[in-house]
Amino acid sequence: MGRMVAIIVALLVVTNVITGLAVYYLAVPAPGAGSVQVIGPWAGGEWANFKPVLDAFKNATGISYQYTTSRQEDLSLTLPINFQAQQSPADLIFMPSATIKQFAGRGWVTDLTGTLSPSSYQPGALDPLTVTGKVWGGAYTGKVKPGFWYNSSFFTSHNLNVPTTWAGFSQLLWDIKNTSGVSAPILSGDGVGWPLSDVTEGFIETYGGAAMHRALTNRTLSWTDASVKAVFQNYLVPTLQNGFWSAPQTWNDPAVIRSWWNGAYPLYFMGSWITSGFVPNPANLKVFSLPGGGSNQGIVFAADYFFVPKYAAHSDLGKRLAQWLSTKEAQTIQVGVGGHIATATGVSASAYPALDAQVASLMQGKAVLTDLDDTIGNPFQGHFWSELQSLWATPANWQTVLANIQAAAQAQP
Amino acid sequence: MNASAPTKRAPMRSRSRWVRIRPRTIVIHVVAWAIGLAWLLPFVGVAMTAVRPLDQTSLGWWRLSPFSVTLDNFVAVWNNPGCPLSLGLRDSFLVAMPATIIPMLVGALAGYGFARFQTRSRDYIFLAVVLFMAVPQMMVAVPVYNLMIRAGLISSLLSLILIHSAWGIPWIILFMRNFFRTLPLEVEEAARVDGASDFKIFYKIVLPMSLPAMAAIIVFQFMWVWNDFFFAQVLIQNPNWYLSTQCVPRLVGQFVRPYDLLSAGAILTMSVPVALYAILQRFYIRGLVGWTIKG
Amino acid sequence: MKIPGGGLFSRLVPRRGDRVSMGRWGRSQARFLSFFLPAAIFLIVLVIYPIVATLTLSFVAPDGSYAGLQNYGSVLGSPDTFNPACLQRGPPCGTLLNNLIWIGIHLPLTVFMGLFLAVLLQNVRGASFVKSLIFLGMVTPLIVVGVVLRFVLEYPIGVVPAFFGWLGIKSLDVNWLVTPNTLLLGLIFGTVWSWTGFSMIVYSAGLTTIPKDYFEAARVDGASEWQIFRKITWPLLRPVTLVIVTMTLLWELKLFDIVIGATNSQGGVGGAADVLALQMYRYFSNINYSSAAVVATLLTIFTLIVAVGLFRKLLGLPLRKKGRRTAPSVPQVETKPAKAAGDEAQGAVEGIS
């Protein structure tokens, strides 16, 4: 009995001592009164590209910043209950435009109408964030998703050519598949699922046309419509069924990137961010679009959007940062690292590195579209991604996948 | 029943029996230990991935060359900018300690009431209390969240302490009531004759006799609160106050699939309940088996 | 020293001499309340009120008006919840079916593995150490178990695909997390791995209450191990089995941490591992309180059915008989074998010889 008392007493004492010490030594340092909290989706190399912009902000205004990485998918799950409790984890947060609009509808967003002026932007850049004349957030630089990126040395060493027709593309895929050392011709990116949605949108905008893409984004066209089914049935699904795609892998895992670059999975459908800091020899990084589409093709240009939450601790600092990010000074710094395209006016063409010229040339003649699932938003987006993952796993079920996506689109408020 | 049933030790003395049993016992021992080790395999993998650099383990932690041990992963996860486990562990302790003591005292009090004082409706109330144990946490999430908002306690550890206390009370009442019923009444009756009040009897006589039960409750409730994720996720919104269980999935969130960080974080988070279990196993099992309905 | 209150199941039927304090009526009530009051406050504010509030919420439309069963209809009718087409073409099946599938596979596996391990480890040296190893899965936070499962099922870092690759089954030497079928099965097996410890421990405790004499007597009479198991062990363990089945069912209905740790808030690829509790969390995160309340209420109804089912079986006592103890009690496994069941066993033993 005495022993047991001793054990319990000891346990209580020890844990209380640990707790006390922990509180004393690990108390959270409150962020400096004069610093702005930023949450963005970029980490690692992408963060290294964004940091100079924030540093320039600090030099220009004297306001220090604290940046935290958080995936937007995770944020979309935690921000609503945060805001509902009238708290905010940051003063400026990057989120897709549809989410910002949803938040604005709920009264969680600071009105930036006075702070940001549409005249400092390219025409239409702020449209996704403008509701009833009020501007609920700002646009930052954007990226396009032009097509399949590849290592040109792989192509030259195997005598492969960039295809210009759909038949040529199919032939290329067969040729690559039969090349030794290749596990699968196309690398399927994964993570939460947006890489698959990017490439699916690529097929839609090329073989269905910009109008189809817009109609699906506006939900005026059904995913089970015959025209949409044709795109899947004749183009995307056969490539899946012929085994041209790898199993989905984490899109930015260095080992995965290496396996793409070294020829295990020679083709990678990605956005233009891939040009900055992902591969060891960017001179060999080339891209081609899906060939053989009609005259009405589109290309997805996805800008990054940010907003200042209503319950931000320092919304005035958030507004100043928002203003900075919309200026051509900030965006010039950003595009300089490559892989970004400015939404602000006045950014000269010389600010872009040579690699991006290739991307610009691919944009010629194509209508600019917004990212489909980003524009529709959650909960559709989550369903869309997981349905595409299941399509990649079982291509034979493509009709069911389309039906499910349509159901999710219809259920979206 | 055979009166002459041999005792357990008998077979070992007889030579012929000993030889006959041996191969079978060996097989059983081998199988049992193999199963035990196989069960441990995932944790072995986690441990390996946590102490080795990721490029050694990313193709399979069972590849043993090259093999180098490093504590970098633990340091990285301790100071991780997204959710540092130093703060996570601190918060888990700050919640688990009070959320164990409070329901234990309140529940013991109530359990004593149920055990000793007869009222007409006592047993119906008791049945209701016991049924609360079966209710899933999800059932109370939304109103408690709104309640805490109104009380201004969202993201405060106090909110979590309160809900965990309330959640632990039903099973502790049941457990202590069962325990108190086994205590002989004579001691209490004697004290009552001497004029002691109910509370004094409870506090000075009954509680000291209940230490084993209390030990079981402490162990079980502490582990239950420490391991919780749902209530923490609902009530603690401010990333500065995340608990360790909330930090672990956040590590996945970020960039690459950082299995080295994940493993280190997992080990740090589970180290506390596993250590507790290792030291106080008997009490934990008594808490589990003594009354097995624990949501 | 024998610890009072220990033993497999605490006794609740009054022993001789275990009297309840029979004060006068009013005094007793006041005394009871004074002890029960702090707990009552906690329970009323943080348990009873929220339960009632959630129940009410499930009948209210998002704009605040009374909606009847409409919320239930929309949740139950959604393919997220109930997607019977999966029986032909595979997962996703919707959360309701996923929980049922989970129960259907996990429950028998856990119960029998636990029983098998408990019997196996009866007389093994170092058994308690092995049992601790198996029990680790129960002690670990479930969110960590989920993350460990992610680690175990992914390719190329996971043991499971590697194991099947080693066996030569190439089709399974892939990332289990990206195919709906393998994801669901992988997670179910993961939960078996985690929960078997519980079933094993409880069965072990149950086995210790069966007097060794029965086994010895049966062996002396020439019974084989299997006959002993079938005619003595299994029937005597029935109350234990009942408890284990109930606890496992309750646990399966509340699956959340493991799924969100191993996959994401959608329940993985195509929602293949989506479960009711996860669905509720999604609705809650999207501030769709009515639907969240619906799912929570459904969950509670299922768990109450299971829990009340256990009580009625265990008690065998009606709730309203005058003069009898109406509190829930658990049959004394210690005493039962010695009396009624002992006769069974005796008969079994004699039947064998």
What is the predicted pLDDT for the residue at C342? 28
Least confident range of A43-57, B140-154, C220-234, C277-291: C220-234
Q: What is the mean pLDDT of chain A?
A: 85
Task: Say which CATH number the domain at C234 has.
Answer: 1.10.3720.10
Per-residue confidence (pLDDT) for residue B109, from 0 to 100 = 92
Domain presence at residue A16: no
Work out the minimum CA distance from B8 to partner chain A, whole angstroms: 30
Position A29 in a domain: no
Query: What is the share, in percent, of chain A residues with pLDDT greater than 90?
Result: 31
What percent of chain B is predicted at pLDDT more than 90?
26
Test mutation, A24, A65, A71, A249, chain B, max B CBs within 10 A: A71
Phi, psi of A69 (to 5 degrees): -90, 135
A83 and A40 part of one domain:
yes
> Same domain, yes or no, for A110 and A170?
no
Contact C79 A393 (CB under 8 A): no
Tokens of A209: 């046309």
Task: Specify if B22 maps to a domain.
Answer: yes
**pLDDT at A28 (0 to 100):** 52
Taking 50 as the threshold, does the pLDDT of residue C332 lie above it? Answer: no
Verify whether the Cβ–Cβ distance C130 to B8 is below 8 Å: no
Split at pLDDT 50, 70, 90, the class of C216 is: confident
d(CA A68, CA A92): 11
Q: Give the Cα separation of B132 and C39 in Å (integer).
A: 13
CB contact (8 A) between residue B213 and residue C5: yes
What ranges in chain B are assigned the alpha helix state H? 10-13, 15-51, 54-57, 72-78, 85-116, 122-132, 138-150, 157-181, 185-193, 198-200, 207-209, 211-227, 230-235, 244-253, 259-279, 281-290
Residues B167, B28, single domain; the answer is no
Cα distance from C98 to chain A (closest Cα, Å)? 16
CA atoms in the 13 A half-sphere facing the CB of A269: 25
In B, which residues are within 8 Å of A7 by CB distance?
215, 280
* Amino acid in the structure at residue B250: R
Same domain as A108, residue A63? yes
Q: How many structural domains is chain B composed of?
A: 2
Mutation test of the interface with chain A: which of C93, C266, C280, choosing the one with the most A Cβ atoms within 10 A? C266
The answer to whether the beta carbons of residues A401 and A392 sit under 8 Å apart is no
Are A302 and A143 in contact by the 8 Å Cβ rule? The answer is yes
**To the nearest whole angstrom, how far is the Cα of A33 from the nearest Cα of chain C?**
30
Residue at B214 is within a domain: yes
Q: Which range of residues forms the domain containing residue B208?
A: 76-290
Which three-class secondary structure string do you get for A237-303?
HHHHHCCCECCCEECCCHHHHHHHHCCCCCEEEECHHHHCCCCCCHHHEEEECCCCCCCCCEEEEEE
Buried/exposed code over A212-251 (b: 16+ C-beta within 10 A; e: otherwise): bbbbbbebebbbeeeebbebbeebbbebbeeebbbbbbbb
Question: CA A18, A23, A28, A32 torsion: positive or negative?
Answer: negative
* Segment B147-192, tens digit of pLDDT: 999 988 888 889 999 999 999 999 999 989 888 888 888 888 888 8
Give the distance from residue C92's alpha carbon to the nearest chain B alpha carbon, in angstroms.
23
Mutate to test the interface with B, among A18, A65, A77, A192 (most CBs of B within 10 A): A18
Residue A396 lies in a domain: yes
Q: How far is the C-alpha of B109 from the C-alpha of C351, rounded, in Å?
A: 51
Least confidently predicted of A376-385, C14-23, C317-326: C317-326
B47-94 tens-digit pLDDT: 888 888 877 777 777 777 778 888 888 888 888 777 888 889 989 999
pLDDT tens digits for range A211-226: 899 899 889 999 999 9
The subunits that touch chain C, with at least 3 C-beta pairs less than 8 Å apart, are A, B
B82 with B61, same domain: the answer is no
Report the C-alpha gap between B258 and B260 in whole angstroms: 5
Residue-level pLDDT at B256: 53
Q: C322 pLDDT exceeds 50?
A: no
Q: Which of A235, A176, A169 is nearest to A201 (CA)?
A: A235
Q: What CATH code is carried by the domain that includes residue A57?
A: 3.40.190.10
Q: Is residue B87 part of a domain?
A: yes
For residue C296, the chain B residues in CB contact (below 8 A) are: 136, 138-139, 141-142
Query: Parallel, antiparallel, or unpaired: how do β-strands A285-288 and A147-151 relate?
Result: antiparallel
Residues B160 and B23 in one domain: no
Q: The tokens 């190329």 sit on which residue? A: C156
On whether residue C101 sits in a domain, the answer given is yes
Touching B (3+ Cβ pairs <8 A), the chains are A, C
The predicted structure's pLDDT at residue B278:
84
* Inter-chain touch A397–C272, beta carbons under 8 Å: no
Give the lowest-confidence range in A9-18, A138-147, C295-304.
A9-18
Say whether A148 sits in a helix, a strand or coil. strand
Pick from B258, B17, B286: nearest CA to B176: B286
Other Cβ atoms less than 10 A from the Cβ of C11: the count is 18
Q: What average pLDDT does the segment C329-344 reach?
A: 32
Residue-number span of the structural domain to which A174 is assigned: 147-301+357-411
Lowest mean pLDDT among B242-256, C114-128, C181-195: B242-256
The rounded distance, in Å, linking the Cα atoms of B223 and B277 is 9
Task: Give the residue carrying structure tokens 């293949």.
Answer: C272
A133-184 residue pLDDT tens = 899 999 998 888 888 999 999 999 988 889 989 999 999 999 999 888 888 8
pLDDT band at B283 (very low <50, low <70, confident <90, very high): confident
User: Is residue C332 in some structural domain?
Assistant: yes
C317: confidence class by pLDDT, cuts 50, 70, 90 = very low
Residue A274 lies in a domain: yes
- Yes or no, beta carbons of A393 and C174 under 8 Å apart: no
User: Are A135 and A162 part of one and the same domain?
Assistant: no
Chain B residue with minimal CA distance to C347?
A: B1
Q: Which of C15, C33, C147 best tests the B interface by mutation, with the highest count of B CBs <10 A?
A: C147
Rounded Cα–Cα distance for residues B89 and B23 (Å): 49
The shortest CB-CB distance from B109 to any of C8, C38, C217 is to C38
pLDDT tens column, C269-283:
778 889 999 999 999
Asked whether residue C190 is domain-assigned, the answer is yes
Check C92 against A390: CB less than 8 A apart: yes
Strand pairing category for A298-307 and A92-94: antiparallel
Question: What pLDDT, on the 0 to 100 scale, is given for residue B285?
Answer: 74
- Split at pLDDT 50, 70, 90, the class of A6 is low
Of B93, B212, B215, the CB nearest to A18: B93
In which band, very low, low, confident or very high, does the pLDDT at A69 lie, cut at 50, 70 and 90? confident
The reply to whether B143 and B52 lie within a common domain is: no
Quote the CA–CA distance of B1 and C349 in Å, as a whole number. 9
pLDDT value at C329 more than 80: no
Q: Does A163 touch chain C (CB under 8 A)?
A: no
CB of A255 within 8 Å of any CB in chain B? yes
- By Cβ distance, the residue of B155, B215, B253 closest to A70 is B253
- How many A×B Cβ pairs under 8 Å? 82
* A166 and A91 assigned to the same domain: no
Render pLDDT for B16-43 as a digit per residue (tens, 0 to 9): 555 556 787 888 888 888 888 888 888 8
**Using CA of residue A279, residue A283, residue A289, residue A290, what is the dihedral sign?**
negative
Cα gap C73→C52, rounded to integer Å: 20
Which residues of chain A lie closer than 8 angstroms to B255, CB-CB? 43-44, 69, 252
Q: Are residues A248 and A228 in the same domain?
A: yes
> Do B128 and B15 fall within a single domain?
no
Q: Do C272 and A387 touch (CB under 8 A)?
A: no
Closest Cα in chain A to C260: A74
Please name the amino acid found at residue A104.
A
C282 and A73 within 8 Å at the Cβ level: the answer is no
Chain A residues touching C272 at Cβ < 8 A: 390
User: A307 and A284 in one domain?
Assistant: no
Q: How far is C291 from chain B, CA to nearest CA, in Å? A: 11
* Dist. CA B231–CA B244, nearest whole Å: 13
The residue of chain A with its CA nearest to that of B215 is: A8
- In a 3-state reduction of DSSP, which class is residue A369? strand
Of A48-57, A245-254, C52-61, minimum mean pLDDT range = A245-254
| Assigned domain for B295 exists | no
What residues of B are in contact with residue A78 (Cβ under 8 Å)?
Answer: 237
Report the chain B residue with the minimal C-alpha distance to residue C41: B166
Same domain, A365 and A313: no
Last residue of a domain, one of B20, B49, B70: B70
- How does pLDDT run across C3-58, given as a tens digit for each residue? 233 333 334 433 444 445 444 445 678 888 889 999 999 999 999 999 999 999 99
The percent of residues above 70 in pLDDT, for chain C, comes to: 81
Cβ contact, residue pair B86, A26, below 8 Å = yes
User: Same domain, yes or no, for B98 and B22?
Assistant: no
State the pLDDT confidence band at A348, using cuts at 50, 70 and 90.
confident
The pLDDT of residue A225: 92
Contact by Cβ (8 Å): A37, A89: yes
B211 with A70: Cβ contact below 8 A: no
Q: Which residue has the higher pLDDT, C315 or C266?
A: C266
CA distance C266 to chain A (A): 7
Cα C1 to Cα A9, B48, B279: the distances in Å are 20, 42, 20
Percentage of the residues of chain A whose pLDDT score is greater than 70: 91
**Averaged pLDDT of chain B:** 83
> In 3-state terms, what secondary structure has residue A45?
helix
Residue of A nearest to C267 (CA): A386
Give the one of C1, C269, C284 whose C-beta lies nearest to A393's C-beta. C269
Is ipTM strictly over 0.95?
Answer: no
- Evaluate whether residue B1 is within a structural domain: no
Does residue A8 come out as left (phi exceeding 0), alpha (psi in the -120 to 50 range) or beta? alpha
Of the partner residues B90, B149, B241, the one whose CB lies closest to the CB of residue A22: B90
- The domain that holds B190 is classified in CATH as 1.10.3720.10
Q: Which two tokens stand for residue B14?
A: 């007889």
**Average pLDDT score over residue span A258-265:** 88
The phi and psi torsions of C341 (rounded to 5 degrees) equal -70, -25
Please tell me the total count of domains within chain A: 2
Averaged over C250-258, what is the pLDDT? 91
Which tokens go with A363? 């944009």
- At residue B6 the predicted structure's pLDDT band, cuts being 50, 70 and 90, is very low
Q: Are A345 and A207 in a shared domain?
A: no
A390: how many CB neighbours lie within 10 A of its CB?
Answer: 27
| B146, B261: one domain | yes
φ, ψ for residue A300 (rounded to 5)? -85, 125
Residue A385: closest CA among C264, B181, C142, B250 = C264
Specify whether B256 is located in the same domain as B148.
yes
- Looking at the fold, whether A209 and A348 belong to one and the same domain comes out as no
* pLDDT for residue B119: 83
Q: Is residue A9 one of the residues assigned to a domain?
A: no
Across A38-49, average pLDDT: 83
B52 & B129 share domain: no
Whether B280 and B147 share a structural domain:
yes
Q: Which of A326, A353, A380 finishes a domain?
A: A353
**Between vectors from CA A224 to CA A219 and to CA A230, what angle results, nearest 5°?**
110
Per CB-CB distance under 8 Å, the chain C contacts of A390 are 92, 180, 269-270, 272
Task: Provide φ and ψ at C319, rounded to 5°.
Answer: -90, -10
A interface test, pick of C3, C93, C184, C264 with most A CB neighbours within 10 Å? C264
Q: Is B141–C43 a contact, with Cβ atoms under 8 angstroms apart?
A: no
Range of the domain at C272: 90-287+300-352
My answer on whether B167 and B122 are in the same domain is yes
Tell whether A108 and A176 lie within a shared domain.
no
Q: Are residues A253 and A210 in the same domain?
A: yes
The total domain count for chain C is 1
Q: Which among A389, A410, A412 is the top mutation candidate for probing chain C, defined by the most C β-carbons within 10 Å of its own β-carbon?
A: A389
pLDDT at B291 over 60: no
Residues 6+ apart with CB under 8 A from A406: A222, A223, A224
In a shared domain, residues B243 and B101: yes
For tokens 């967003």, the residue is A109
